[in-house]
């Protein structure tokens, strides 16, 4: 069955970086991109960006463009999202989700990774 398994929670200080992993299994990895969505405590969903697992092309939200990197490791079917220069308002649960391409929706999600930014 399709599974996206994310790395565990992280606690970081302001100014640091965090790298969250998302391991995909149960489907043809190259057939779907991966989208990252975050959710601050008690808040709604915020799209961060997308990466093609086929060729590594990314499309990131302007808000994060300077601070985010998304990469893939095809040998392990794992996608990574790195967020730099962390601030307290980056405290959130970060989700990866399988992106259905032209349909633009997200049919399978990881379990979420809580990133806490605190001094």
Partner 1 sequence: DIQMTQSPSSLSASVGDRVTITCRTSHNINSYLNWYQQKPGKAPKLLIYAASTLQSGVPSRFSGSGSGADFTLTISSLQPEDFATYYCQQSYSTPRTFGQGTKVEFK
User: Is beta strand 68-73 parallel, antiparallel or unpaired with respect to 92-99?
Assistant: unpaired
CB of 16 to partner 1, least distance (A): 25
Q: What value does the CA radius of gyration of the chain take, rounded to a whole number of Å?
A: 13
Question: Of the candidates 44, 55, 66, 119, which one interacts with partner 1 according to CB under 8 A?
Answer: 44
List Cα–Cα distances, 74 to 2, 34, 54, 80, in angstroms: 16, 13, 9, 11
Is residue 10 close enough to count as binding partner 1 by CB under 8 A? Answer: no
- Which pair of tokens denotes residue 95? 């989700």
Is residue 61 close enough to count as binding partner 1 by CB under 8 A? Answer: yes
Is residue 62 close enough to count as binding partner 1 by CB under 8 A? Answer: yes
CB of 14 to partner 1, least distance (A): 25
Is residue 41 close enough to count as binding partner 1 by CB under 8 A? Answer: no
Is residue 50 close enough to count as binding partner 1 by CB under 8 A? Answer: yes
**Residues sharing a CB contact under 8 Å with residue 108, sequence separation 6 or more, in sequence order:** 2, 3, 4, 97, 98
The footprint of partner 1 (CB under 8 A) covers 35, 37, 44-47, 50, 59, 61-62, 95, 97, 100, 103-107, 109-112
């Amino acid at each position: 069955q399709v599974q996206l398994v994310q790395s565990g929670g992280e606690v970081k200080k302001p100014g640091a970086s965090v790298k969250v992993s998302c391991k995909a299994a149960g489907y043809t990895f190259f057939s779907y991109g991966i989208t990252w969505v975050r959710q601050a405590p008690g808040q709604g969903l915020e799209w961060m960006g997308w990466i093609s697992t086929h060729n590594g092309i990314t499309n990131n939200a302007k808000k994060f463009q300077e601070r985010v990197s998304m990469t893939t490791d095809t040998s392990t079917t794992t996608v990574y999202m790195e967020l730099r220069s962390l601030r307290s308002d980056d405290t959130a649960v970060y989700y990866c989700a399988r992106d259905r391409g032209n349909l633009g929706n997200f049919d399978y999600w990881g379990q979420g990774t809580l990133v806490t930014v605190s001094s």
